[in-house]
Amino acid sequence: MQLLLKSIFTCALFVIFVYATAQSLLKVQETEARQAAYLNISSHSSSADDQSSSNLSQDDGHFLSRRLRQVQAQVQARQVVHGEEGVEGAPSQLEDELKQLMKTNVDAPDVEELRQCSEGLVLPLWMPQRNISIGDRLIRGFVYFMLLIYLFVGVSIIADRFMAAIEAITSIERAVVVKGPNNTKQVMHVRIWNETVANLTLMALGSSAPEILLSVIEIYAKDFESGDLGPGTIVGSAAYNLFMIIAVCMIWIPAGEVRRIRHLRVFFVTALFSIFAYVWLWLILSVFTPGVILVWEAIVTLLFFPLTVLWAYIAERRLLVYKYMDKNYRVNKRGTVVAGEHDQVEMDAEKGPKHPMVTSSRPNDAEAFDEARREYIHVLTELRQKYPEADLEQLEMMAQEQVLARSNKSRAFYRIQATRKMVGSGNLMRKIQERAHSDLTEVKAQLHAGDEEEADDPIRMYFEPGHYTVMENCGEFEVRVVRRGDISTYASVEYETQDGTASAGNDFVGRKGLLSFPPGVDEQRFRIEVIDDDVFEEDECFYIRLFNPSEGVKLAVPMIATVMILDDDHAGIFAFTDSVFEITESVGRFELKVMRYSGARGTVIVPYWTENDTATDAKDYEEARGELVFENNESEKFIDLYILEQSSYEKDVSFKVHIGEPRLAPDDEMAAKIKEVEKKSVQDLTELDRILLLSKPRNGELTTAYVRIRESQEFKATVDKLVAKANVSAVLGTSSWKEQFKDALTVIPADESEFDNDDEEEEVPSCFSYVSHFVCLFWKVLFAFVPPTDICGGYVTFVVSIFVIGVITAVIGDAASYFGCALNIKDSVTAILFVALGTSIPDTFASMIAAKHDEGADNCIGNVTGSNAVNVFLGIGLAWTIAAVYHSSHGGTFNVEPGTIGFAVALFCGEALIAIFIIMFRRWHKGIGAELGGPKISKYISAAILVFLWVFYVVICILEAYDVIRI
């Protein structure tokens, strides 16, 4: 489809070019024939000026200039006022101008019809200019046409850098502290630039810089006189943008999908000003002071630009009168205006298909951050279901890629993406992948930075581990002391045992000594002896402490080790170590410890099972049921619990784990003895029998444990940091000249998939990518010298880029003028047909990409109307202000012939109203419900009407320019 549209655009442009050229060259032949006939007759003609005027009006009236007709009309009007019949009664100034114009057309008819090229501002003039054959004109026209195309490519590439600088400037962020749902403070980074203000100022300037600069440069090149090329390009570009771009985007939406404008209030403001801008042009050109632009008119035109931005900002932020559009307001009995029940009356909340992420009201910073976080969690959940075998870090990187790819993108992003596709520089999605990987790496490094900050710490010594559990009959056990930090020096520390419930001499052998750590040794071990007896007793413990370290050594926790001695004469008491266990959902497998206290003799079986609480099995965890078998002298066992990770940010659920009544294994010799004793009566029990019965296994107090599943703190921190970094603006810029030259010399395939395909094969650049790359190589290498956007936040790139765009635009102005001159095409026609299309093609493809991948239609429709208003107010307003002030300072007036500009403006305003009506009709129609997309038949009919409006506009403007239609 995209190739088809490109072909249609190319063929249409070529057909129009051939037609306009043929008509112009036919007129050249007619004019040359008339000029030869005139030269033969002029030697025998001596009639008076008034007779010449009469003959000229009869024979050559079709070729009179507009100014001649206007002066004639003014003379006749003043004759009527004075009640006179002849020209003699009219003011002398109009008489002289009328006679001079008549004389010019009689004595030199080639001046009106055969243009003589004047020297341009930058581009040298192709000599000679007189006595040129039609073949020579065709060759010159073709050369200038190809030069124009190549210059359009160049200005698109440098506009790529310019837009990247604008994105870097408008994406500057500041840290703000917001309160979360539980009054928790949270630091977030929000953009300083308002989205609407950025779109109507820097973004609009970035996409329309060639048209705006062309208008200003033309004024300077023509010695501050008016021209048709600059204003004609702005008016022609506005028509193309409003009709053709919206028509293409309308049918470009995938089948079954729609796109709606989210900020409808802003769209109404920009649409209103885009139409008013051209109405204002018509007023100052044809109504207030026809043919003359006064200083105040030019300045007011320029001041409408900040007024448009301010009004759009007020509408977007619901300030002033717009705040009353959020609720129903009524007058109570006392005559006071009060708010009624909340009723969303904003037009973008009208019924119709709507994406769930599209909200009608502007969320605050906290809500926007929460929404982005929920989107990240949702994407991560989808990826976990799609790739169950992938680890969490890999899934996090993939989720970051998709969040970056799906996030709202600016106008600059789509403009740059479209340009890079056209010139063989690949797709920005590859850079998004690299950015996602670097973001995750940076975040993980920040989270684990505290674990690696021990290099410069002093030498530390401590027990590892800090707790030992041993059996009474173990004999000896080994204790380990480690040294961390600098191990290149000698170090030492003393240790000694201390009594607890176990006492030295009865339960263990006390010990004291010195541990030496020679250079290069990071651990030392020593052994402690445990005394065994046959008397049943409770579990006992004692301690070992470190003290008196050598110079430069610091004792760290645990500097005291706890040793628990378990009695081996009892079957044991079984219980959990704690009543509540808090784990993270990312733990996967969790080992829940069951301890055996007060004995470890015999083989004991302990049943266990899980029970739902707020957590649900098969959703939050896997149900567990079974038996633990404690072998003789075994003091601990683990229940394997499998937690199902959902990557939920605010998860907090729990379930229960129970242990049942323990029992001795049937084949255990103690079990047989106990059964025999149980058969005896109480009176017959001996003391040993009672001790044997007391040694039966039993449960302790903690037989039920609550396992609380919460979100992972690391995962939570990772999500917060990644969401804060989920800004695609960084992928547009560059950090070094090396990167820029590497990109300029590399052919990168255009990846259309945007992570949606599972094909892991590396894509190879197409033939078109190679051709585009080598054709544009000169521009790529040249513009690689532009400073990177990382320098001074993009401001240096901004200044250098706009200067380069100005230089190339000046060359475009010269080339367009020479092109029209060689083929005898008027500047107004050249501007509307060729220059306007050449500067708008990148915007076309940018809008197509935005229409397909954006959630709303703002980057397709809203920015078109905003750009049109900015072009007039800033482009024409700035140029005419400069010229009007210049002429006023020299005692003259700035004259602008209404001609084609006034006619084109009036025609555009009428068609623009029709186009906006169609757009709004589609939004409010029940069967469509959106500006873009919708049912196939309706969107093709709407697009066909818009295309017809553009074709009709172009054809009528051309016919009017060549006096086929007169105004």
**In whole angstroms, how far apart are CA 840 and each of 90, 190, 200, 845?**
48, 32, 17, 9
Total Cβ atoms within 10 A of residue 116: 9
Mean pLDDT value across residues 233-248? 89
The per-residue pLDDT for 787 is: 92
Cα–Cα distance measured from residue 962 to residue 62, given in angstroms and rounded to the nearest whole number: 9
The per-residue pLDDT for 907 is: 84
Please check whether residue 670 is in contact with residue 508, taking contact to mean a CB–CB distance below 8 angstroms: no
The per-residue pLDDT for 199 is: 79
Both ends of the chain: CA-CA distance in Å? Answer: 41
Cα–Cα distance measured from residue 329 to residue 347, given in angstroms and rounded to the nearest whole number: 17
Residue 965 reports pLDDT greater than 60: yes
Give me the helices (H) in 764-876, please: 767-775, 777-783, 795-822, 827-830, 836-853, 863-870
Place of tokens 């129609």: 925
Percent pLDDT > 90 in the chain is: 13
Residue 341 reports pLDDT greater than 50: no
Specify the range with the lowest mean pLDDT, choosing from 726-730, 778-782, 837-841. 726-730
Mean pLDDT value across residues 649-663? 84
The per-residue pLDDT for 691 is: 63
Residue 413 reports pLDDT greater than 60: yes
The per-residue pLDDT for 956 is: 86
Radius of gyration of the chain (CA): 43
Q: What is the DSSP letter of 587?
A: G
The per-residue pLDDT for 726 is: 59
Place of tokens 């050109």: 285
Mean pLDDT value across residues 936-955? 90
Residue 734 reports pLDDT greater than 70: yes
Mean pLDDT value across residues 502-509? 84
User: Would you give the distance in Å from CA 372 to the centre of its chain?
Assistant: 13
Mean pLDDT value across residues 659-684? 76
Task: Note the residue count of the chain.
Answer: 967
Q: What is the dihedral of CA 577, 581, 584, 589, to 10 degrees?
A: 50
Residue 236 reports pLDDT greater than 80: yes
Q: What is the DSSP letter of 951?
A: H
Tens-place pLDDT, residues 601-628: 778 889 999 999 888 888 888 899 999 9
Q: What is the 3-state secondary structure (H, E, C) of 450-511?
A: HHHCCCCCCEEEEECCCEEEEECCCCEEEEEEEEECCCCCCEEEEEEEECCCCCECCCECCC
Tens-place pLDDT, residues 771-797: 888 888 899 899 999 999 888 888 899
Residue 484 reports pLDDT greater than 80: yes
Tens-place pLDDT, residues 202-221: 887 877 888 889 999 999 88
HSE at residue 913, side-chain half, CA atoms within 13 A, is 9
Mean pLDDT value across residues 281-309? 90
Please check whether residue 773 is in contact with residue 425, taking contact to mean a CB–CB distance below 8 angstroms: yes
The per-residue pLDDT for 714 is: 59
Sorting pLDDT into bands at 50, 70 and 90, what band is 339? very low
Sorting pLDDT into bands at 50, 70 and 90, what band is 176? low
Sorting pLDDT into bands at 50, 70 and 90, what band is 53? very low
Output 351 or 383, whichever has higher pLDDT.
Answer: 383
**What is the average pLDDT score of the chain?**
75
The per-residue pLDDT for 810 is: 92
The per-residue pLDDT for 869 is: 85
The per-residue pLDDT for 438 is: 65
The per-residue pLDDT for 403 is: 67
Residue 630 reports pLDDT greater than 80: yes
HSE at residue 822, side-chain half, CA atoms within 13 A, is 21
The per-residue pLDDT for 715 is: 61
Mean pLDDT value across residues 539-562? 85
The per-residue pLDDT for 675 is: 73
Output 27 or 666, whichever has higher pLDDT.
Answer: 666
* DSSP result, 719-777: HHHHHHH--GGGGTS-S-HHHHHHHHH-------STT-----SPP---HHHHHHHHHSH
Q: Which of 544, 545, 543, 550 is nearest to 493 (CA)?
A: 550
**In whole angstroms, how far apart are CA 562 and each of 189, 458, 707?**
48, 25, 27
Output 581 or 192, whichever has higher pLDDT.
Answer: 581
Specify the range with the lowest mean pLDDT, choosing from 360-364, 742-746, 762-766, 808-812. 360-364
Cα–Cα distance measured from residue 515 to residue 561, given in angstroms and rounded to the nearest whole number: 15
Sorting pLDDT into bands at 50, 70 and 90, what band is 330? very low
Q: Which of 62-71, 125-134, 247-256, 366-375 has the largest mean confidence?
A: 247-256
Output 300 or 449, whichever has higher pLDDT.
Answer: 300
The reply to whether omega before 231 is within 30° of 0 (cis) is no
The per-residue pLDDT for 534 is: 60
The per-residue pLDDT for 752 is: 46
List all residues 6 or more positions away from 84 whose beta carbon is below 8 Å from its beta carbon.
90
Mean pLDDT value across residues 386-406? 67
